[in-house]
């Protein structure tokens, strides 16, 4: 449940300019409420709390464009190929902004790593960040995307092209290989997804 400390009058204006309908609050403590899709933003004196299953769109509008985020991704398969899952986390100075976990069916470890990276980049773009620092524990994927390793597999080449298209939408980005323990949250989310696959 994201909590955004802000000027709630400015936040209301930002939502209204984006075409989101804003209504009076339901209690004496609520300044206003706004709903879009499966999320509701509730304004109090100096903060907005977003509730619901899909808070990303409302949060992106309220936080505004720009800013920097750290993005972690991980994917894996049991059996290689086998039941596969992905996990990703977006972190800023405010803490964890969002995270995701998804079973993706049957795939190889490398296919799952690429799918995790793509999902993480799409989420970061939806939030409007213009600078991202991406970290993953797959040295192969990191070095393929950075052009240090060749990508011979046609499916992986296609995914690498998609990653480059997404990265090109950011003003600045870095991609770094990190040890698994640094990537533990995304790794745990990917394993949770494999448990569900």
Residue 37 DSSP one-character state: T
* Same-domain status, 46 and 114: no
Look up tokens 């300019």; give the residue.
17
CB 32 within 8 A of CB 23: yes
Task: Say what the pTM is.
Answer: 0.76
Q: At what angle do helices 109-126 and 154-167 cross, to 10 degrees?
A: 20
**CATH number of the CATH domain containing 26:** 3.30.310.10
Could you give the CA distance from residue 9 to residue 45 in angstroms, rounded to a whole number? Answer: 9
* Same-domain status, 92 and 164: yes
As given in the structure block, the two tokens for residue 18 are: 């984006």
Domain boundary among 38, 63, 88: 63
pLDDT confidence of residue 65: 58
* Domain count along the chain: 2
Which domain covers residue 79, as residue numbers?
A: 68-196
Residue 1 reports pLDDT greater than 80: no
**CATH number of the CATH domain containing 191:** 3.30.420.10
- Please, is 61 exposed, middle or buried when counting C-beta atoms within 10 Å of its C-beta (0-12, 13-18, 19+)? buried
Look up tokens 């398969």; give the residue.
77
Q: What is the pLDDT of residues 144-189, one digit of tens each?
A: 999 999 999 999 999 999 999 999 999 999 999 999 999 999 999 9
* Same-domain status, 93 and 142: yes
Could you give the CA distance from residue 59 to residue 43 in angstroms, rounded to a whole number? Answer: 13
Q: What is the pLDDT of residues 28-40, one digit of tens each?
A: 999 999 998 888 9
* Same-domain status, 162 and 188: yes
Could you give the CA distance from residue 59 to residue 57 in angstroms, rounded to a whole number? Answer: 5
* Same-domain status, 50 and 130: no
């Amino acid at each position: 449940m994201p909590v955004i400390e802000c000027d709630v009058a400015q936040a209301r204006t930002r939502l209204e300019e984006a075409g989101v309908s804003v209504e009076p609050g339901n209690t004496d403590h609520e300044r206003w409420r706004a709903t879009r899709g499966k999320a509701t933003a509730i304004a109090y004196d100096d903060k907005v709390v977003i509730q619901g299953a899909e808070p990303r769109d409302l949060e992106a509008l309220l936080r505004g464009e720009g800013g920097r985020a750290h993005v972690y991704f991980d994917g894996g398969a049991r059996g290689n190929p086998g039941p596969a899952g992905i996990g990703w986390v977006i972190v800023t100075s405010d803490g964890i902004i969002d995270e995701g976990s998804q079973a993706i069916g049957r795939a190889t470890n490398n296919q799952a790593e690429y799918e995790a990276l793509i999902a993480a980049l799409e989420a970061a773009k939806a939030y409007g960040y213009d600078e991202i620092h991406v970290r993953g524990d797959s040295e192969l994927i990191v070095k393929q995307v950075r052009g240090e390793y060749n990508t011979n597999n046609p499916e992986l080449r296609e995914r690498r092209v998609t990653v480059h298209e997404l990265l090109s939408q950011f003003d600045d980005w870095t991609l770094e290989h990190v040890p698994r323990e640094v990537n533990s949250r995304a790794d745990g989310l990917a394993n949770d997804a494999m448990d569900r696959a």
